[in-house]
Structure 1
Amino acid sequence: MMEQVFRELQEADIGRVAWKEPMSKHTTWKIGGPADVLIEPEGIKALQRAMAVITTWNVPWRAVGRGSNLLVEDAGIKGVVIKLGRNMEYMEENNIQIRAGAGFSFIKLATILSKKGYSGLEFAGGIPGTVGGAVFMNAGAHGSDMSDIVVKAHVLYPDGSLVWLTNEELEFSYRTSILQKERAVVCEAVLALKEGNKEEVVEEMKKHKDYRRSTQPWNYPCAGSVFRNPLPNHAGALIEKAGLKGYHHGGAGISEQHANFIVNLDQAKASDVSAIIRHVQDTIYELYGITMQTEVEIVERNANL
């Protein structure tokens, strides 16, 4: 069946369509088996055409950006992976409101707007991923997150309908949005910023970037913070307190620099990372009675997507 889906997606003239594409090419962890089919739509209309094919065949699908928050199983992903990349990377300005495509690099957007003196995205300095992914997971740092600046998001549902969801309708909470419950793809978002002092905004952005560079291990492939903070505790502090810094399994290990980072040290497999995640969860629960939930999304081959 997937061969037929592959051919119909090619015929739909949607952009790049790849067969058995290794997801290790599309995740910041550089880990992950093949997607049955991976597509890179050239725009929202192309995405609609692709979704029509996917829905007709009733095959599993998943949308990804730069793969900065994904652990893809070694067996890969069943069905169709929709990559929202450079073909969905655009930005329009309307005074202090910014309309950005889902594939726009979050760091790049924040950097461009800070140099224009726009305030509100300073927290994004150093956060990897795309605008779509940031909306999906309500990305944040330094006491701010997307819920503070998103006006609305344009989302595509499997039935082909395009709907603008307001900030309230997105139901943002800590690292969560309604889109983690509903099946929809973020196509673009409108952000409301403020006019600030250019030098001050740029300096604030630089401070956050420098802090991340000095405290986080970006010299190895990784996916950012692995665990959500079990408030009022902080995940990294708990893991370090438990003596797990530097713990290894296969080609992966807990960073010596930041305990909430698991890094790909030497051709790590997803199974290596999963083993470390389970070890951390078991250890922290045994020592402190705290359940550690992952911030990264773990994608299993046969998951009901």
Structure 2
Amino acid sequence: MQDIVNKLNDKSIGKVLVDEPLSKHTTIKIGGPADLFIQPKSIDGLKDALVILNEHHIPIRVIGRGSNLLIPDEGIRGAVIQFGKGLDHLEVDGDQILVGGGYPLVRLSAIISRDELSGFEFAGGIPGSVGGGVFMNAGAHGSDISKVLVKAHILFEDGTTEWLSNEEMKFDYRKSVLQEERKGYCIEAIFQLNKGNKQDILAEIKKHKEYRRETQPWDYPCAGSIFRNPLPNYAGKLVEELDLKGYQIGGAKISDMHGNFIVNEDEASYEDVMALINFIKKRVKEEYDINMVTEVEIL
């Protein structure tokens, strides 16, 4: 492993850590160590890292801001690459923007409002990154990434890159082509926005942030929405109708505020959260004959 670390450092790709606890990089504060943890300082650095890792047949996982992840306590074998600083560039060209995959969605919605650009207000309270948002077609308040994306610069697992159009991304509810059909990661995206009134945009963003603050338990470590909504039903409502809010297994607890959130109440383990997820699935299936599908990505 040290030989690989040396090669990565020789290329000056960015930060390279060994046995880095992933609990430090997930919003639910759960996750064991990664054999290698890499934060590339540029797209070129990312590509260089992939070449070295693939040459040594090292398994690779990519994460963003860790807001939609559940990672086992034993950690991840191989390399975890985090999109963050170095992949958070932003260029504004009229009513279009080019933005790096590591750019935080919340910050992006705020920054572009200064240029009176509208269309990204829905993301004002989503605690993820652009890359993760494109990957899962993140959305809220009646809109999502598919409504504004022109094309995405995708890094595939073999190290090749390609720009995919909105149509080629095959967006659906919390889905994109990157999840199964063409596995890859968004390193850049171009969004088409509209000129709007700055005060109206800021007011809309503020409203969405306040709604999340009042209805979702972000004061506790959590991973965001646990289940996809089984439309026309809503996951949180089903859980609440079963009177499961506050139900706890080990250190993991169904939020008292929102039925579709599991919080790390007291040093919860991966097993605690998984047991609670499976318990919810079982109860909803028994009561409503609905198969719940997780929205949180379980590595």
What TM-score results when the alignment is normalised by the length of structure 2? 0.97
Equivalent position of 1:293 in the other structure:
293
Q: What residue number does 2:198 align with? A: 198
SS in structure 2 of the partner of residue 164 of structure 1 = strand
Q: Given that residues 251 and 266 in structure 1 are in contact (C-alpha distance below 8 angstroms), is that contact kept between their aligned partners in structure 2?
A: yes
1:14 — aligned with what?
A: 13
CA distance, structure 2, for counterparts of residue 288 and residue 103 of structure 1:
39
* Structure 1 Cα separation of the partners of residues 57 and 296 of structure 2: 26
1:245 maps to what in 2? 245
SS in 2 for 1:31: coil
Write the letter of the residue equivalent to 2:295: E
Deviation (angstroms), 1:142: 0.9
Offset of residue 104 of structure 1? 0.6
CA contact (8 A) 2:102 2:129 kept: yes
Structure 1: state its 5+ residue gaps. Answer: 300-305
> What is the match of residue 104 of structure 1?
103
Q: Give, in angstroms, the shift of residue 122 of structure 1.
A: 0.9
* C-alpha distance in structure 2 between counterparts of 1:3 and 1:155, whole Å: 29
- Inter-partner Cα distance in structure 2 for 1:111 and 1:124: 9
Letter paired with 1:291: N
Contact 1:52 1:158 in 2 (8 A): no
Task: Give the Å deviation of 1:5.
Answer: 2.8
Answering whether residue 228 of structure 2 is matched by residue 225 of structure 1, we say no
**Other-structure match for 1:52:** 51
In 1, the alpha carbon distance for the partners of 2:154 and 2:190 equals: 12
Moved more, 150-159 or 219-228: 150-159
The residue that corresponds to 2:158 in the other structure is 159
* 8 A contact 2:177–2:183 mirrored in 1: no
How many residues in Structure 1 have an aligned counterpart in Structure 2?
Answer: 298
- 1:175 and 2:199 equivalent? no
Work out the CA distance in 1 between the residues paired with 2:294 and 2:2: 34
Aligned to 2:31: 32
Calculate the TM-score normalised by the size of structure 1. 0.95
In the alignment, the residues of structure 1 paired with residue 53 and residue 175 of structure 2 have an alpha-carbon distance, to the nearest angstrom, of 26
Residue 231 of structure 1 aligns to a residue in which SS? coil
Structure 2: distance between partners of 1:144 and 1:204? 13
Give RMSD over aligned pairs: 1.0
CA distance in 2: counterparts of 1:157 and 1:287, whole angstroms = 41
Moved over 3 A (4+): none
In the other structure, the counterpart of 1:77 is: 76
Contact 1:227–1:296 (8 Å) recurs in 2: yes
Task: Give secondary structure in 2 for the equivalent of 1:74.
Answer: coil
> 1:266: Cα distance to partner?
1.4
User: Is 2:187 aligned against 1:187?
Assistant: yes
Secondary structure of the corresponding residue to residue 208 of structure 1: helix
Q: Distance in 1 between matches of 2:85 and 2:150?
A: 23
Q: Mind listing any 5+ residue stretches in structure 2 that lack a counterpart?
A: none
Partner SS for 2:86 = helix
The DSSP-based 3-state class of the residue aligned with 1:125 is helix
1:117/1:202 contact within 8 Å kept: no
**Does the 8 Å CA contact 2:90/2:100 hold for their aligned counterparts?**
yes
Work out whether residues 114 and 198 of structure 1, in 8 Å CA contact, stay in contact via their aligned partners in 2.
yes
> Residue type of the partner of 1:254?
I
**2:124 counterpart of 1:125:** yes
